[in-house]
Structure 1
Amino acid sequence: MPIGETLSIGLIGLRAHIIQIQAFVSPGLPYFSIIGLPDASLSEARERVKSACQASGFKWPDTRVTVNMSPASLPKRGSSHDLAIAASVLSAANAIAPDCLANTLVLGELNLDGSVLPIHGLLPILLHARDRGIRSVIIPQANSDEASLVPDIEPIMVRHVGELIELMGGTARYRINTSAPQTADNVLDDMETIHPADMAEVVGQEHTKWALQVAAAGGHHILMVGPPGSGKTMLASRIPGIMCPLTEREQLEVASIRSLCGTLPQYGISDIPPFEAPHHTASNAAMVGGGSGIAMPGAITRAHRGVLFMDEAPEFSPRTLQTLREPLESGIIALSRAKGTVWYPARFQLVMAANPCLCGMAYGTGERCTCKEKERIRYFGRLSGPILDRIDIQVDVLPVQHIASQQSQSSLSTKTMRSAVISAREVAHDRYAAQGWSCNAQASGEWLRTNTSRKAVALLNQALSAGNLSLRGADRAMRLAWTLADLRGANSPEEDDVAQGIMMRTRVT
């Protein structure tokens, strides 16, 4: 008997690995084994593959069938290898030509009736296949829209194992169940893109809007503190609308994460930055990622290249808040489990909102506040110093005193703010082209200190000497100063920009 061969690709996080699948039909008692470190869901593929092949008119061998997945040291997981395993067995049993799939990537989950089901994570898989020079791929028909996003790939779509047999020159007897649920074709093309609402719809809060514009222009993290009903959540939900549109490369990064999470059909491909708003009861695993075996992405990875909004920030558990420290600095999150460590991208812009106290009325004179002093300190103290030190901008969002008429509405609309943000980002991008940074928030402290005037740096030294800033805080204040200079069209920050950057790091009230 010949050895049937085909290719598949496995994902560990977002990192793809080529997997060679070989099947051998040998004499012996009837037994079907899969070797090569399969997980539980992959071990169950034995029953799915056997039933699906028989549903296509293939007589399963009454001997020993062995499938090897190499490299043997790499953990294999998921049901996306079902179709490749079936193809290798069919090839080994001469149901199709033995060498017809040796250099072909085969992906798909199988149902017991032989139908091919869509898989998650197809986009990063196909991007890796293209980079490795693989052009011929066989994928589920329901994943056709996702496959169309990757150029230079020649996808062959199948709905049933029987179709695969016929495409490879074999003979099959099968019936496609048209009533089975399938992902609709062209779902990505037919989706209606959801655009964030306009900033002009938020009554008042001009100072807060300006602070959000500065945050978007420089990629700075921001904390909004104010009583209930002052507009914090409304403002936060509109931030993606004023941010720079995603580049083609960034769109593929975001789409790959959504493909892995199975939400790509819901969002499609868009240049609007993602917006994630987990509830304050979210667990640590829901925020950073987790699960048994290989950890799956959490909210901070789904917010990659976009906004992570944490409403009622002091209500999040201290452990969850502390897990943000590493990704806020490095832009990646490492998750270690028994079966391996995965790295996910997590370069997000953090936006926090909080009440000033438990009752929310500790603003202004504080005469309406019913909280005790210890309760106020304990409530806001949940946001630890290391976390607040990583927040570039802290702004008070005070209640609106009167409703403006239609004629005197805010001039800070989403369109106006976005135009200013894009202009400032373009200036920063050109300035940091040699370093590979895209915004001021990514610039190193060494570069900033070298290229900022001595008078401006002297203000930071005074704040450091007085204990008002840490060294990290001084670097972040300097980044703010460069963003303020970019917004007003200056070549470099002046003393006023640095002073304002220092002030923006500390709340007035």
Structure 2
Amino acid sequence: MSLFKVRSAAVYGIDASIIEVEIDFANVTLGEEQFHTVGLPDAAVRESRDRVRAAIKNSGFGLPPTRITINLAPADLKKEGSGFDLPIAIGILGAYGGLNIKDMSDFLLVGELGLDGGLRAVQGMLPIAVAAKARGIRNLIVPESNAKEAAVVEGVDVYPVKTLTEVRELLNAAAFGAITAVPLKVEATDLLNEMQHFPADFKDVRGQGVAKRALEVAAAGGHNILMIGPPGSGKTMLAKRLPSILAPLRFEEALETTKIHSVAGVLNAEDGLVAHRPFRSPHHTISDAGLIGGGVMPRPGEVSLAHNGLLFLDELPEFPRNVLEVLRQPLEDGMVTITRAAMSLSFPARFMLAAAMNPCPCGYFNDKSRECMCTPPMIQRYVSKVSGPLLDRIDIHIEVPAVQYKELRGGSASEGSSEIRARVLAARERQHERFGATAERTKGSAKAVSRKVFSNSQMSTQQIRVFCELSSDAERLLERAMQQQGLSARAHDRILKVSRTIADLEGVQDIAVKHIAEAIQYRTLDRSYWS
């Protein structure tokens, strides 16, 4: 047989496409074997001929002098990465008659080969497993360190392998229906439950009762929050403990988050699944491409790596303004689209933003214990680095003052994360029931909702009208605040979303005046904080 076909896959964005690897050879009279790879391969794929040649020979298989043509179909999609090494090597062995199996349509192979024939991990294994299941491909042969990640997908049999020889033996056994290898099985629910532990706890925070309450509201509704206060007041400490009160990932959220981390190459192979909400804290020297994503073949940035989790930006005004401005689209749409000459890819970026900043360059504006040394122009330049449209997209602005000595040295224990998290989970469950029931309503209903919503912060304008009805007293209070503070329409919607979350934390259906009043108090920067 001079023609042999093997199935593999290539990742584009956070999804994968099935690739047919076709191997054909023709005898030549002189010289060594010649490799020709076609089908839009990148440099890594073209270099695979040297790795494959060495791996085959060092695994004990001979290569006669032939001209080998490798076609990666469909030919109009660009192929990149080292994951095609294994299918190319198996295709060559099959074309030379080194395999008993002839039909490989029910197998998908991915893996990088070492020169000794050993297999190394590749990126994007989870989306590859999802694509295989969608195409009805039952068996996946993958490097051992990728196996746990692939096995998260139900409905496929994942066989972890270490060497090229091991793959050949497995396929030869399959030809006679006698596979002795046991596919790896992973219980995703167990993984989600096992990894719910947090080293940082709110019981370590002294004082800051108002800030802790604001963070509780933010966690309960998935709201963006900005903390303003002098150095040493505990802004960073509070932000690092925010993940400990967030609701656990649902399986569909965990799967989507894991796909992004797998494609980016930051997934822990031992875990196999991102089982807790991501916490990303990039340094203020990050570029716009690093934050939003980019590259010749676009890769996800920090906003996508924080998908379904938390993005913490410390010292917010220290970030370049152009970097902060790229946050506006993902904060509004929950999605990032990166366009290049060759392709346009979209990455999910639905995250909760937590940011911290000093009120001025020296950090002591409005501080009662220390005098601010900044002039009004200095303060203005500092504050103007964060644009109004960006601040408008942050639901909660909260002041974090310096902690008083008595609070710092007080003997009374602070409320821990477990107690706060219990209230957050109860509020999230109310939201899940609300939006889950809404999604099941008929399309003809005036209140029907088509898009997936997990928290109050993700409500559309239509949903705000349905779920944020106000009494006449609450309506008057909101109207007065809008007029006196000059709030925008976006700020109006965000006040309603936050008040809905406060009511959910209290366990009541109707939004009361006190809920609106508390939500309005969380718009510090709309009340001329620096005047």
What is the TM-score normalised by the length of structure 2?
0.87
381-390 or 94-103, which deviates more: 94-103
The 1-side partners of 2:270 and 2:388 are apart by 36
1:497 paired with 2:497, answer: no
The 1-side partners of 2:489 and 2:258 are apart by 37
1:299 paired with 2:302, answer: yes
Residue by residue over 1:156-194, the C-alpha shift from the partner in whole angstroms, topping out at 9 and shown as x without a partner, is 232222222233339xxxxxxxxxxxxxxxxx98x9875
Q: In the alignment, is the contact (CA less than 8 A) between 1:90 and 1:96 conserved in 2?
A: yes
**Aligned partner of residue 265 in structure 1, secondary structure:** coil
* Segments ≥4 residues shifted beyond 3 Å: 27-30, 191-194, 364-367, 403-407, 456-467
The 2-side partners of 1:123 and 1:288 are apart by 22
Give the equivalent residue in structure 2 for 1:211. Answer: 214
Compute the displacement of 1:339 (Å): 2.8
1:18 paired with 2:18, answer: yes
Q: In the alignment, is the contact (CA less than 8 A) between 2:399 and 2:524 conserved in 1?
A: no
Q: Structure 1: which 5+ residue stretches go unaligned?
A: 171-187
1:449 paired with 2:452, answer: no
C-alpha spacing 1:239/1:69, structure 2 compared with 1 (3 Å): same
Q: Which amino acid aligns with 1:487?
A: L
The 1-side partners of 2:160 and 2:463 are apart by 51
Give the equivalent residue in structure 1 for 2:444. Answer: none
* 1:163-178 alignment, distance < 5 Å: 163-169=166-172
Compute the displacement of 1:359 (Å): 0.6
The 2-side partners of 1:165 and 1:415 are apart by 51
278-287 or 396-405, which deviates more: 396-405
* 1:115-264 alignment, distance < 5 Å: 115-169=118-172, 195-264=198-267
Give the equivalent residue in structure 2 for 1:360. Answer: 363
Q: In the alignment, is the contact (CA less than 8 A) between 1:92 and 1:98 conserved in 2?
A: no
The 2-side partners of 1:471 and 1:47 are apart by 61
1:41 paired with 2:57, answer: no
The 1-side partners of 2:64 and 2:423 are apart by 68
Q: Which amino acid aligns with 1:285?
A: A
Give the equivalent residue in structure 1 for 2:178. Answer: none
Compute the displacement of 1:62 (Å): 1.6
Give the equivalent residue in structure 2 for 1:184. Answer: none
Give the equivalent residue in structure 1 for 2:292. Answer: 288
Compute the displacement of 1:466 (Å): 4.8
Give the equivalent residue in structure 2 for 1:439. Answer: 455
**Aligned partner of residue 437 in structure 1, secondary structure:** coil
The 2-side partners of 1:306 and 1:267 are apart by 20
RMSD, aligned CA: 2.4
Q: In the alignment, is the contact (CA less than 8 A) between 2:105 and 2:137 conserved in 1?
A: no
Q: Which amino acid aligns with 2:424?
A: V
**Aligned partner of residue 364 in structure 2, secondary structure:** coil
Give the equivalent residue in structure 2 for 1:176. Answer: none
55-64 or 65-74, which deviates more: 55-64
**Aligned partner of residue 22 in structure 2, secondary structure:** strand
Give the equivalent residue in structure 1 for 2:183. Answer: none
Q: In the alignment, is the contact (CA less than 8 A) between 1:294 and 1:341 conserved in 2?
A: no
Give the equivalent residue in structure 2 for 1:70. Answer: 73
Q: Which amino acid aligns with 2:490?
A: R
The 2-side partners of 1:266 and 1:389 are apart by 39
1:57 to 54, 57, 60: 60
The 1-side partners of 2:287 and 2:369 are apart by 33
The 2-side partners of 1:32 and 1:106 are apart by 20
The 2-side partners of 1:345 and 1:423 are apart by 27
Q: In the alignment, is the contact (CA less than 8 A) between 1:203 and 1:403 conserved in 2?
A: no
Residue by residue over 1:338-368, the C-alpha shift from the partner in whole angstroms, topping out at 9 and shown as x without a partner, is 3322211111100000011111111246961
C-alpha spacing 1:138/1:378, structure 2 compared with 1 (3 Å): same
Q: Which amino acid aligns with 2:457?
A: A
Compute the displacement of 1:100 (Å): 4.0
The 2-side partners of 1:267 and 1:391 are apart by 36
Compute the displacement of 1:133 (Å): 1.8
Q: Which amino acid aligns with 1:14?
A: I
Compute the displacement of 1:488 (Å): 1.4
Q: In the alignment, is the contact (CA less than 8 A) between 1:2 and 1:98 conserved in 2?
A: no
Give the equivalent residue in structure 1 for 2:95. Answer: 92
Residue by residue over 1:404-452, the C-alpha shift from the partner in whole angstroms, topping out at 9 and shown as x without a partner, is 4564232x32111111111111112212222342211011123323441
